[in-house]
Amino acid sequence: MTRKQNDLSVLEERLGYRFRKIALLEEALTHNSAVVGRSRKSDYQRLEFLGDRVLALAIAEMLFQTFPNDSEGDLARKHAALVRNEAWVEIAILLGVGNHLFLGLSEENSEGRHKQTILGDACEAIFGAIYLDSDYATVFAIIDHMWRPMMMKAPAKGARDAKTILQEWAQARGMPAPVYREVDRSGPAHKPQFRIVLELPGMIPVEGVGPSKRDAERAAASVMLAREGLEAGND
């Protein structure tokens, strides 16, 4: 897809923000496969780095203001849930980011517009671009609007993580502990993405992706719990 064919105004409407420098948004949507051999073109990796930090600060501020009685541990637990890659992907899908990506032929042919890692990274870059194009107050307002519904569903005090819930469920049925295997690691050194396969005897394996092995394992456990219709406290 060329820049001429890509109507970014649709994405701007969904964001509720008009860019003064549209080149920033274009950069945020450009995967490195689209810039190979083009030294004057930039991909989204630097903006992704910035957007990740902007979100982390904004979510911390939102939680601090919204939950005045939470302990540091409770706030940290909720924060982790809201800045994980799955949250970015959820927002990217809501915005329709995949429809506006600039991809090289290899990624275009391998369904790159639907890959969670690319969607999450590009979404981070978009918010980094908004910050550069405006200011912190502006990007904070957009993040508050888009993340607040998720924030109100963040883990409650003392909530167990998905790995713990799944392991207890398996043990209660005489099953061995879940096995987590790293099958892939990608992304730049400052922002790695791990892909983990989770296996339990007699069950179809599932995968999880995250910025650390632990996060990817938790993501995989969450997928299996959701697939099996399990929640904390269910037998």
Backbone angles phi, psi at 205, to 5 degrees: -60, 155
Q: CA-to-CA distance for 180 and 182, rounded, in angstroms?
A: 7
Active site residue ranges? 52, 124
Residues pairing with 193 in the sheet: 186
Let me know if 168 is exposed, middle or buried by CB neighbors in 10 A (0-12, 13-18, 19+).
exposed
Q: How many CB atoms within 10 Å of residue 147?
A: 20
Question: Residues 93-96: contacts with CB within 8 Å, 24+ apart?
Answer: 93/119, 94/14, 94/146, 95/11, 95/14, 95/15, 95/123, 95/126, 96/10, 96/11, 96/14
